Amino acid sequence: MKKDSSLTFDIFNYAVQIAITLLCVYPFYYIFIYSISDPQQAVKGVFIAPAGFTLLNYATIFKLDHMLNSFVVSVLRTVIGTAVTVLCCSWFAYAVTKNELYFRKLIYRFLVVTMYFNAGLIPWYLTMKALGLKNSFLLYILPGAISAFYVVLLKTFIEQLPKALEESAMIDGAGFLKIFVRIIFPLSMPIVATIAVFSAVGQWNTWMDNYFLVSSDRLQTLQLVLYNYLTQAQQIVNSSNMQDLNRGLATKVSPESIRITITMVVTIPVMLVYPFLQRYFVKGIMLGAIKG
Amino acid sequence: MVLPFVAMIFAFNYIPLFGWIYAFFDYRPGIPLSESSFEGLKYFRLVFEDKEQLINVLVNTLVLGFLSILASPLSVIFAILLNETASGKFRKAVQTLTTLPNFISFIIVYSLATALFSSGGLLNELLMKLHWIQEPTNVMANPEAAWLFQTAVSVWKGLGFGSIVYLAAIAGIDTELFDAAKVDGAGRLQRIVHITVPEIMPTFFVLTLLAVAGILSNNFEQYFVFYNSLVSGKVETLDYYVYRMGIATGDIPFGTAVGMAKSIVSIALLFSLNALSRKIRGQSVFQERGANGEKGFFPDVRYF
């Protein structure tokens, strides 16, 4: 089908794709070169190559208040949140495939239906507060532990595993938990990996729960630190913090260079897991072609 | 063994529904609901009495929603172009790089936009250097450009990722169709127009239907981060209105009333559009039979 291509079409096609790719990539490239440029030269404009070279921006941002702490909070919520979500969803998905579970279909529907309605921002806010999750690390973990979408994907996958494996294990006297741990979970790795990646990126990027319900600095995520810098840029210019940072330095950081470097730091982890992401996301969507 | 999870599903998804009750009471934070007076539909009336606000917010929500629906064929076109690329490596590289924006938070998107488009940003630097403009302009603070700018931002973020589902659909087309067309002498464009496009139409149709059904609640995070006093009249959507009245201003009953009305209209819209689609095209956005043949509205995981 590709042999008889007309040349004009190909040229047009490649040109369009290259243009779109550049549009998508350039903003990231720009903040990268800005973050390693000398801040004073960068203010005059960087476009294609960095102006000067310094790691000062990176060295400086970790001296900012809360920065390291927030980095740890973000990493913790991503790691713990993902682990909890993956385990809860896969166990739940396995359980609802079992005929031995009373009200199996009802329980499954009870969950699936949650995909179609949403009580809204204020009831969510009030409920979380009433459940005592305000200013608690558990707010980052528990509400997302069971997700209808992930359970549907997992259940679909588990249902098409060969039944014989499970039956023979059962004859050997294994219980449901043992079968889950030894057989079902390891066999479900392709879909589990997909969900782990979905969930990890989601955790890393989420900030609304932090914004609305966590006022404690100790639990602030990296995303929110960046948001605060963005919305309070002007204050930071005048803040003593910035002047302190620049005291005694030959090259001085600027509010822009700090903001852009924080953006880079928040983006880097996503870029690092990105090669895996791409593979599993496509797979996740392809898997959807199997009946839910 | 599943009981704790059922309890969690109930706590985080169903209990908030009881929060709708706040729309009927003169509730203020700090005073328990039992001591607040029952006001009936007063707050719903108030929402409709503040016509100017409501209309403005509805117009913004609908315009922004329709603009992104209008832009959605771009993902289809992009998928077709990707599919027509002979070099697999090139296609993979393009696909990988164009999906990257989908995986970053809107805070980062906003930060990138600030770096590029604000008064001291890259674009202004460049245009000033070229002497095309004398004064820096800030597109993020320009109410006339706000709708288009927000649409451009969501296209930038979603184009690559949005094309994956269509690529999957194209990959599912029976290759015999293409071979037969080739034998009949159909050129490349003809094959795209007469085979690829019609074959992925059902996917496009379902996604568009879901987008229309979700039009009242899209991209809250995006408009939230891009919101500022200059463009507030253009990017304040229903969700933002709920936030502003209910949380920022603290009028919880009013905000809840707006949110509740929105949720109900949304779900009604989804099911009535689906009913219409079944009638007209015989196509449902749901998997109406589960894996074991049980009846119900199961999500089609390709689309949700």
pLDDT in tens, B186-244: 888 888 999 999 999 988 988 898 889 889 987 899 999 999 989 999 999 999 999 99
What average pLDDT does the structure give for chain A?
85
Judged by CB atoms closer than 8 Å, whether chains meet at A117 and B263 is answered as: yes
Contact of B161 with B102, CB cutoff 8 Å: yes
- Token pair listed for A276: 């895996």
Shortest distance between the Cα of B160 and any Cα of chain A, in A, equals 9
Residues of B in contact with A44 (CB under 8 A): 125
Q: What percent of chain A has pLDDT over 70?
A: 86
Q: What is the pLDDT of residues A122-181, one digit of tens each?
A: 999 999 999 999 999 999 999 999 999 999 989 988 988 888 888 888 888 888 999 999
Please determine, for residue A29, whether its predicted confidence score (pLDDT) is greater than 60.
yes
The model's pTM is: 0.90
Q: What percent of chain A has pLDDT over 90?
A: 45
pLDDT at residue A1, as a whole number: 43
Q: What is the pLDDT of residues B258-304, one digit of tens each?
A: 999 999 999 899 889 988 888 887 777 777 666 555 666 666 665 65
pLDDT at residue A289, as a whole number: 44
> A43 pLDDT band (50/70/90 cuts)?
confident
Residue B3 neighbours by CB distance under 10 Å = 8
- Token pair listed for B268: 């009604």
Please determine, for residue A37, whether its predicted confidence score (pLDDT) is greater than 80.
yes
Q: Which residue out of B34, B74, B104 would a mutagenesis test of the A interface target, given it has the greatest number of A Cβ atoms within 10 Å?
A: B104
pLDDT at residue A210, as a whole number: 94
pLDDT at residue A290, as a whole number: 40
Judged by CB atoms closer than 8 Å, whether chains meet at A145 and B8 is answered as: yes
Task: Name the residue type at position A35.
Answer: S
The strand pairing partners of B287, in sequence order, are B298
Please determine, for residue A236, whether its predicted confidence score (pLDDT) is greater than 60.
no
Task: State how far Cα B81 lies from the chain centre.
Answer: 24
| Residue A63, SS3 per DSSP | coil
Worst-scoring range by mean pLDDT, B36-40, B88-92, B168-172, B178-182? B36-40
Name B178's Cβ contacts closer than 8 Å, sequence gap at least 6: A1, B191, B195
Residues of A in contact with B82 (CB under 8 A): 17
Q: Environment class of residue B109 by beta-carbon count within 10 Å: exposed (0-12), middle (13-18) or buried (19+)? A: buried
Domains in chain B (CATH in brackets) are 57-202+212-255 (1.10.3720.10)
Q: Which of B100, B252, B287 sits opposite A291 (nearest CB)?
A: B287
ipTM: 0.88
Residues making up chain B, counted from first to last: 304
The CATH number given to A66-231 is 1.10.3720.10
Q: Residue holding tokens 């779109």?
A: A20
Name A56's Cβ contacts closer than 8 Å, sequence gap at least 6: A38, A39, A249, A251, A253
Q: What is the pLDDT of residues B151-188, one digit of tens each?
A: 999 999 999 989 988 988 898 888 898 889 888 888 88
Contact of A209 with A83, CB cutoff 8 Å: no
Residues of A in contact with B89 (CB under 8 A): none
B36 touches chain A (CB under 8 A): no
pLDDT at residue A291, as a whole number: 35
Contact of A122 with B246, CB cutoff 8 Å: yes
Residues of A in contact with B241 (CB under 8 A): none
CA distance A189 to A1: 35
